[in-house]
Structure 1
Amino acid sequence: MCGRFSLTTELDVLLERFQIEQTRIDIDTPRFNIAPTQQVPTVIRAGESNRMGTLRWGLIPFWAKDPSISNKLINARSETADQKASFKHALKKRRCLILSDGFYEWRRTKDRKIPMRIQVRNGEPFAMAGLWEKWHDNTSTIYTCTILTTEANELMAEIHNRMPVILTKETESIWLDASLSDLKELNKCMKPFPSSEMNAYEVSTLVNSPKNEEPECILPVN
């Protein structure tokens, strides 16, 4: 699964890297320990351009009667998303990029769980495959998202059996194309990212609590 991540990359770098033409947020404040229920930086395709905004992490399906269902829907298994009522509609038409420069996972040992930070290449920003929904009742409207996961690659297998779907530069544009709903094409996007292009290192147990949001969260433990 993916239950925590970071985004410390400067805004101008993100705008160029993900070809963002419109943005509604200023994210120059680095995020070291992003957690479920928080607003997360995302990109959607608006007409012919990419637009950056925020969505609340934890999907509320449009048909849900109780918004607390979002607590159980921070992740969606890519292998079965097209079969689940919570995700299948969004998979066809409401896909997004969830921006990150590192995610956390906990490696289990005999007596404890060790927090690890996993990155792409040299710590460059990357996009995780996401789904989004608009939910409303008589009093409010909430925009939410979930992160798709896939089986672990060789690097991740030593830490956890699942990992987020990390898109390549080529599959990012496919993922954002709302006119595309062919499952075979979408499945090509939802593959484990190559181990050779990733690295992982141990970090402080500060990340165990979402209350901790400080630079020490991303520093390696010597």
Structure 2
Amino acid sequence: MCGRFVLIESLRALQNLFGYRYDPTYEPRVLDISHRYNIAPTQPIAIVDAGLDGIRHARLVRWGLIPAWTKDAQTQSLLFNARSETAADKPSFRTAMRHRRCLVPASGFYEWRRMGTAKMPYYIRPRDGSTMAFAGLSETWLGSDGSEIDTGAILTTLANKLMATLHDRMPVILDPKDWDEWLDCGNRRPRDVAHLLRPAADDLLEAIPVSERANSVANDDEALIAPLAEPLTIDAEPVEQKIAPTSDKDEPPAQGSLF
């Protein structure tokens, strides 16, 4: 699961890393989501996608995908995550899986561990301090009044050994060498990129205990990711793996463990 994440790289660093085309008329708006320490569903997030010409572009979308066939966006469930195992078949995600795959830049993300009656937030980040790219999907919803909403979701997969100490799911983190393959919607169908939707290597990430201020979306500052103790060890007791049965109805992931 991924219900909160962090993006603190500068705009220029993101452009250098993801190689998207500079657009002086649009780029200032992308700046609005850099140096964010507590990004939550319904807020704008940056995505990187590629057109049929293979040229990457960065743009903002609302975090929470609205399927194109939705009649009333106000009543649509908040689909901020999509299970990678079933996204290609679910009505809410299958068109985006075929035609609108994207990258979601992130410096790290949060997950919570229950400690008695309290929930301890952990900041999850690459051990080497690099920027990640989550596997994402985007969709543009068109209202009957002509309004448009660009939306997106983050794909999740089973937890690796480290994340299993906190939750049974984790976001799909794509290796940089796989970015082009994931973005190539013109030549690669969902089945062709299914092998990319796997848990991250067990030694890629570290989980750092941080302030309970991260529990509130109202807080958004650098102090949220300051370590309070040593990182969680990979041999900590894992949470129970809970594999939800498949269903014809798309449901947003429960947020009980996140907020």
Fold match by TM threshold 0.5: yes
Q: Aligned AA for 1:75?
A: N
Q: Aligned AA for 2:37?
A: F
**More deviation, 140-149/42-51:** 42-51
* Aligned counterpart, 2:251: none
Conservation of the 8 A alpha-carbon contact between 1:58 and 1:70? no
* Aligned counterpart, 1:156: 163
Select the structure of larger CA radius of gyration.
Answer: 2
Q: Aligned AA for 2:190?
A: L
Distance 1:96 1:66 in 2: 25
* Aligned counterpart, 1:13: 13
Q: CA RMSD in A?
A: 1.5
Conservation of the 8 A alpha-carbon contact between 1:104 and 1:116? yes
* Aligned counterpart, 2:110: 104
Distance 1:121 1:199 in 2: 6
Conservation of the 8 A alpha-carbon contact between 2:181 and 2:188? no
1:136 aligned onto 2:142? yes
Distance 2:60 2:38 in 1: 16
C-alpha distance after superposition, 1:104-139 (max 9, x if no partner): 011123322110110113221110000000101133
Structure 1 residues 101 and 127, CA gap change in structure 2 (3 angstroms): same
Structure 1 residues 207 and 25, CA gap change in structure 2 (3 angstroms): farther
Paired residue for 1:91, among 97, 104, 124? Answer: 97
Higher helix share: 1
- SS of equivalent residue, structure 1 residue 83: coil
Distance 1:68 1:147 in 2: 20
Distance 2:116 2:97 in 1: 38
TM-score, reference length from structure 2? 0.82
* Aligned counterpart, 2:208: 201
* Aligned counterpart, 2:57: 51
Structure 1 residues 68 and 221, CA gap change in structure 2 (3 angstroms): farther
Paired residue for 1:169, among 152, 167, 176? Answer: 176
C-alpha distance after superposition, 1:151-173 (max 9, x if no partner): 00001000111000000011111
1:184 aligned onto 2:191? yes
Paired residue for 2:128, among 102, 107, 122? Answer: 122
Higher strand share: 1
* Aligned counterpart, 1:25: 27
What runs of 5+ residues in structure 1 fail to find an aligned partner? Answer: none
Distance 2:211 2:27 in 1: 29
TM-score, reference length from structure 1? 0.95
